[in-house]
Amino acid sequence: MNPTIKPISVVLKEARQNKGITLEEAYKATKIHTKILHALEEGTTLGLSHVYVKSYIRIYANYLGISRHELERYFHIPPIIKEKRVKLDVSSIDGRGEKIQGLEGPVILPNYPVAVNFLKKAAIILGVLLIIVIIFRILPKKEATSIKGPVSITTSSASLNKDTKVKQAVTQTAQETFPKIGDKMRLTIFTEEDCWMRIKIDGKIVFTNILKKGTSETWQANDKINLWLANAGIVKLELNGKILQPIGRRGQILKDVVITREGISISK
């Protein structure tokens, strides 16, 4: 560029001032925001791409009556593409919610690639995480292997953490609390609240009903007692005169509690 030529910013500013036009009037005519117009006249770009800057300069210069031939002395402007009308509706540079509207000609829309790419990546990551969560929720829950010994508890993987304390307490005290069985097993059940239960003695169902709050029932068996409890946490078991440790938590359903001469097996 010839060093004697004035900067394009100076040419634009002088052309506007010579015509007595304010920035606000230029904004209304060109629909280019006043902040961008001011930046063009001061020789700054507000961080915009040079492609956008050239486009704004061409529109502004055309409005001020500066010919295309004169502009070519400052920088090369590519040939005009077929006339298109492109309406812009993007937030203003200062972020105050004002809008830049309705530019005409081959104007390239300003974009914000960093923000757009970040939002796209964030949306993809969230979508993948959501799919993973859904898959894990619909997978069938596997039953954990039972614990050998006088007391064995089988729980699903989802409730393993919740039942850990109960399982440890029963296992640690099983030898102490489980009584020696003679000829008969005598089981008494106490309940703190109304509780539905099913009792099977030596393979025969003897009780399927609600045991009322504060009441108790006693059954005798030769070999095995099966219990189905709708709320294990409110039930107390007494076997041959000894109170057993709690076998479940409040609200927990136990469908198969098996009491034999060797101990108790609890399956959820």
Q: Which tokens hold the place of 81? A: 């593409």
Average pLDDT, the chain: 74
pLDDT at 165: 55
pLDDT at 209: 92
> Is pLDDT of 29 > 90?
yes
> Is pLDDT of 150 > 50?
yes
pLDDT at 175: 46
Between CA 131 and CA 151 the distance in angstroms is 39
Tens of pLDDT, residues 191-217: 989 989 999 999 999 999 998 888 889
Q: Scanning the structure block, which residue is given the tokens 């440790």?
A: 245
pLDDT at 30: 94
Tens of pLDDT, residues 126-139: 999 989 989 888 77
> Is pLDDT of 23 > 90?
yes
> Can you give the residue ranges of every domain in the chain?
8-111, 151-267
If you classify domain 8-111 with CATH, what class do you get?
Answer: mainly alpha
> Is pLDDT of 90 > 50?
no
Long-range Cβ pairs for the range 13-16 (8 Å, 24+): 13/41, 15/61, 15/64, 15/65, 15/66, 16/41, 16/64
Mean pLDDT in residue range 29-54: 87
CA neighbor of 159 nearest in space, from 71, 97, 251:
251
Phi-psi region of 97 (alpha: psi -120 to 50; beta: other; left: phi over 0): left
pLDDT at 201: 95
The continuous run of DSSP H or E covering 208 comes out as strand 204-211
In order of 2, 131, 256, the CA distances from 260 in angstroms are 105, 46, 13
